[in-house]
Structure 1
């Protein structure tokens, strides 16, 4: 679906700034308009490559499967003992995800700083992508009681994905001019949701009919996990062939710092751009709400609404399919109304979605599918336009470092929403009250984003201000 979309005409106002300062818009990253289009198409395909990991591995298969593997290794009281530390088998997956985020927090600023210092994002993109793809493909080996192997592979894959997304996002200002960034970012998300839906359909055919294929349930899950890694690795070849790097002279490279010091240096530099920080704070708040809705929707559907696993998986697939249309549709709305207004409207829709979720009747799959459809229509666009808005607020030459902070707020700091959700459930004993408690993230995010003067923020970052933002 997304692959058939034509590129907009690249007029003078749409050309990305030349890294070497050439006002013609031609640079070492793209000598002509055809070269830029080629790079954009390559860029889209990294989302196409890696999104299957988030959909099939993280959202659907790995959590329940790794938990079962850990239970197989547990003692009579349900504990496993990695390094002699007693852990409940059911917590291995959650702890592994947390450990991967801690590792990502250290690696992302380092990767961003190295990329900006050298101008060579592509080698790091290759290393992080193939580390993640290799770890995911190796999940085929997770049989029996190999929970430690599963935890290690999950940590490696999750952290690698986070690092690769820093580098991937940092290409956006180089391959798209200010006036077309919303559309380009939206197409990237659409490509990702398209591949996620396609591979998930194939996985569900294999998983649902594993007996007809002569496979056990465990073998079917392991093939689904490994296939995501193979897909990720295969389609990463396209961006690696098409994207171009810009070299930074050694005399202009800043000194290298350790991971934590590098992160502090980026945050300190951001203090010189308070409007950029204001946008990042708004994004952190409402994106935390979005991520919590995504991560807790299946728990809500199963525990509060009494829905079966098949219903929940079909709902995930519906979200993936409609997120393609949502990302592209909101990208078009942004051309007319501006990206910030479109995102603000999406936050209002998210609030209505939570209210509808609170009122959903139990054991009514049709209404749950309707809610999933609404989520899909705003999910891709909210994320795509947020990324393009932030790209306007990044000082030139610091794209990877700033996108490391952006990715950190997306992946490394999305813990407050689940905490609020859990506390609301603990206090009230109701998942309905817990889901309604998330309204505060969208309401506060709306207010914070509405207060950011985007045109002034873009100018303060030293970038050209689009006609409509």
Structure 2
């Protein structure tokens, strides 16, 4: 049975009637579970890059490489620019994020226009994994090689993840979407955490393996690329080429979605699909204004998620500089966040099934406020308290993001999944400068990291207030999607 054909038509078919062939219904159910598992494993695969490369190993190592290449004043000169060696990694990440915004938006439009979601998703995944495996060669003073590989890998990661999000509406009915999204997020934390544990064991015991620390780090970096490439085979085999719309009890306007999602460029004119996609991107930007409630939800997500991303990225700095935590304690805390986030995503998914995604997200934002408050009053040089803070972050981290993803999937016009999720990922990645800016300004004005960490409360309070005002049911009806039983 062709995976692409059977899976592609499954989401667009109406639900099986009571007198339908039971064998056919069972085959469809097995096919859907097969697709869901492939999607879960995609999260399992790409989370290794986020956890091992971006969160733990690459920043310190690439900074060391840049410092080895620096002049007497401690500066490096990429492309004729003069920057501090210690700033090379964050500047490179920022540059890659800016580029990824443009690439995500264009690729999302191309994917919806051509119906080649899987090919583009897996293609970018393999570009990113190859660039990550190439980080094994970051020895000596090759900081420019490291920067180039980081830019390529980070852009590929962003695009691949945005395209994978577009599959969610076709993998679950509206009432099951929170559960499926939460399970996928849990798979991601499990996969990323498992490889991170193995890599930390290698790094901590590198002497026993006859390796110096630099070689151990480069092996860890390359292993994330290899992990990403190997496990991407599963979604490549199990997902359909085009992201579709899940079967529901209420008929959805799938015919227009099919037309817009698969409309090809005019035959016999090479380059027309790409040019048409650029025009289609412009039309998408204009059409989004027709759905102001979807934009209102995006604004809420942009705000509170910026706070989440800043807490995650600055927690190690807060732990080391304000709470006096040793490196071992910081690494242990990172692992705790990964492990607890698995259970947190599943737990909040179950809560959302009973009380609705919007209420559960609002509750998780209250949890973030409590977590920040406890972090502000936390005593220094007490690892046990710091581990407790890491557990609290993990508990609300996975669930709040998984449910935000599934709730947004209801607010997307059918057939525009990749385009809209590209905008969603822009909110996730492209605007993450606001939180760090507020954090930095608070520290500059007060000289206290405690003041800096508590200043992030503003993002959760504003995000909560804006999300509270989003009439989710009306927003879903406005884009023509069926409304789940609980919101």
Deviation at 1:308, TM superposition (A): 1.1
1:190/1:325 contact within 8 Å kept: yes
Name the structure 2 match of 1:227: 223
Provide runs of 4+ in structure 1 moved above 6 Å: 16-20, 258-261
* Structure 1 residue corresponding to 2:436, chosen from 397, 418, 423: 418
Aligned partners of 2:182, 2:157: CA distance in 1, in Å?
Answer: 19
Name the structure 2 match of 1:365: 383
Name the structure 2 match of 1:218: 214
Name the structure 2 match of 1:9: none
Q: Which moved more, 1:109-118 or 1:146-155?
A: 109-118
Aligned partners of 1:211, 1:258: CA distance in 2, in Å?
Answer: 56
Name the structure 1 match of 2:43: 47
Name the structure 2 match of 1:466: 484
* Structure 2 residue corresponding to 1:155, chosen from 144, 151, 159: 151
Aligned partners of 1:116, 1:395: CA distance in 2, in Å?
Answer: 12
Aligned partners of 1:260, 1:302: CA distance in 2, in Å?
Answer: 46
Name the structure 2 match of 1:269: 287
Name the structure 2 match of 1:23: 14
Runs (5+) with no aligned partner, structure 1: 1-15
Q: Show CA shifts across 1:231-268 (max 9, x none).
A: 00000000000001249669834764589866553332
1:286/1:445 contact within 8 Å kept: yes
* Structure 2 residue corresponding to 1:107, chosen from 103, 108, 113: 103
1:18/1:24 contact within 8 Å kept: no
Deviation at 1:184, TM superposition (A): 0.3
Aligned partners of 1:91, 1:457: CA distance in 2, in Å?
Answer: 43
Are 2:300 and 1:296 aligned?
no
Aligned partners of 1:333, 1:406: CA distance in 2, in Å?
Answer: 24
CA RMSD of aligned residues (A): 2.0
Deviation at 1:20, TM superposition (A): 8.3
Deviation at 1:85, TM superposition (A): 1.4
Equivalent residues in 2 for 1:337-352 (5 A)?
A: 337-352=355-370
Are 2:33 and 1:37 aligned?
yes
Equivalent residues in 2 for 1:151-190 (5 A)?
A: 151-190=147-186
Name the structure 2 match of 1:397: 415
TM-score scaled by length of structure 2: 0.89
Are 2:125 and 1:129 aligned?
yes
Are 2:324 and 1:306 aligned?
yes
State the SS of the aligned residue for 1:397.
coil
Q: Which moved more, 1:373-382 or 1:304-313?
A: 304-313
Deviation at 1:22, TM superposition (A): 3.9
Aligned partners of 2:276, 2:337: CA distance in 1, in Å?
Answer: 40
State the SS of the aligned residue for 2:106.
helix
Q: 1:21 to 1:323 in 2, by over 3 A?
A: closer
Aligned partners of 1:437, 1:267: CA distance in 2, in Å?
Answer: 33
Name the structure 1 match of 2:352: 334
Q: Show CA shifts across 1:372-398 (max 9, x none).
A: 000001100000000000000000000
2:52/2:221 contact within 8 Å kept: yes
Q: 1:154 to 1:391 in 2, by over 3 A?
A: same
Deviation at 1:197, TM superposition (A): 1.3
Q: Show CA shifts across 1:25-74 (max 9, x none).
A: 79xxx971111110000000000001011111111100000000000000
Aligned partners of 2:444, 2:335: CA distance in 1, in Å?
Answer: 30
State the SS of the aligned residue for 1:144.
coil
Deviation at 1:100, TM superposition (A): 0.6
Aligned partners of 1:324, 1:249: CA distance in 2, in Å?
Answer: 38
Aligned partners of 2:169, 2:8: CA distance in 1, in Å?
Answer: 8
State the SS of the aligned residue for 1:268.
helix
Aligned partners of 1:270, 1:301: CA distance in 2, in Å?
Answer: 41
Name the structure 2 match of 1:438: 456
TM-score scaled by length of structure 1: 0.93
2:132/2:153 contact within 8 Å kept: yes
* Structure 1 residue corresponding to 2:427, chosen from 400, 409, 417: 409
1:17/1:25 contact within 8 Å kept: no
Q: 1:25 to 1:284 in 2, by over 3 A?
A: farther
State the SS of the aligned residue for 1:306.
coil
Q: 1:232 to 1:274 in 2, by over 3 A?
A: same
Name the structure 2 match of 1:70: 66
